[in-house]
Amino acid sequence: MPHRILIADDNLAFRRALRQLIERIPDWQVIEAQDGEEAVALASDARPDVILLDLAMPIKDGLTAALEISNLAPEIPILMCTMHMAPHIELEAQRCGIRQVLSKTNSSLVIPAIRQLLTPQEPVAQSPEPIPIPIADSAPVSPPAPATPPEPATNASPSVPKSVA
């Protein structure tokens, strides 16, 4: 079954360029939206495998659309591709459910980012809780002294201790 990637961007030339880039990958299909409102509707109806949103779009911006999509379908990973890269935008994007923010000037990162989101993640095995060992004394415990090997028995030194008179 092909992977469906939803691209939401108001710039038709950029959407077409992304579509051509993405559809070079076998078994990847593109669904297009021209604004955030259409992206939310298509996310609900088409249930794409990955969503790629622009930040600045008419009717509904990418952050608002991402928040709605995340509430509607939290299992669908969302990427944001924007010209407005800034730490505060990345932080706000994370709060809206966006997994990664990419710059439109570096389109070479789009395919690897989509691949990563399409790859099933192994669940992280949790370590069992450590079992506390009660200590009777509060005094520090020193490590045991190394064992000294017994001296070999010889005629000069008998292995049996002499009795004390």
Question: In total, how many domains does the chain have?
Answer: 1
Residue 32 lies in a domain: yes
Residue 56 lies in a domain: yes
pLDDT tens track of the chain, all 165 residues? 899 999 999 999 999 999 999 999 999 999 999 999 999 999 999 999 999 999 999 999 999 999 999 999 999 999 999 998 899 999 999 999 999 999 999 888 999 999 999 987 655 455 455 545 454 454 455 555 555 555 555 555 455 545 554
Short-list 106, 111, 104, CA closest to 28: 111
Residue 154 lies in a domain: no
> What is the domain-level CATH number for residue 56?
3.40.50.2300
Residue 159 lies in a domain: no
In the numeric block, the tokens 């051509």 are attached to 20
Residue 127 lies in a domain: no
Residue 44 lies in a domain: yes
Q: Which residue segment(s) compose the domain that 39 sits in?
A: 3-118
Residues 6+ apart with CB under 8 A from 45: none
Residue 50 lies in a domain: yes
Cα 73 to Cα 147: distance, rounded to the nearest angstrom = 65
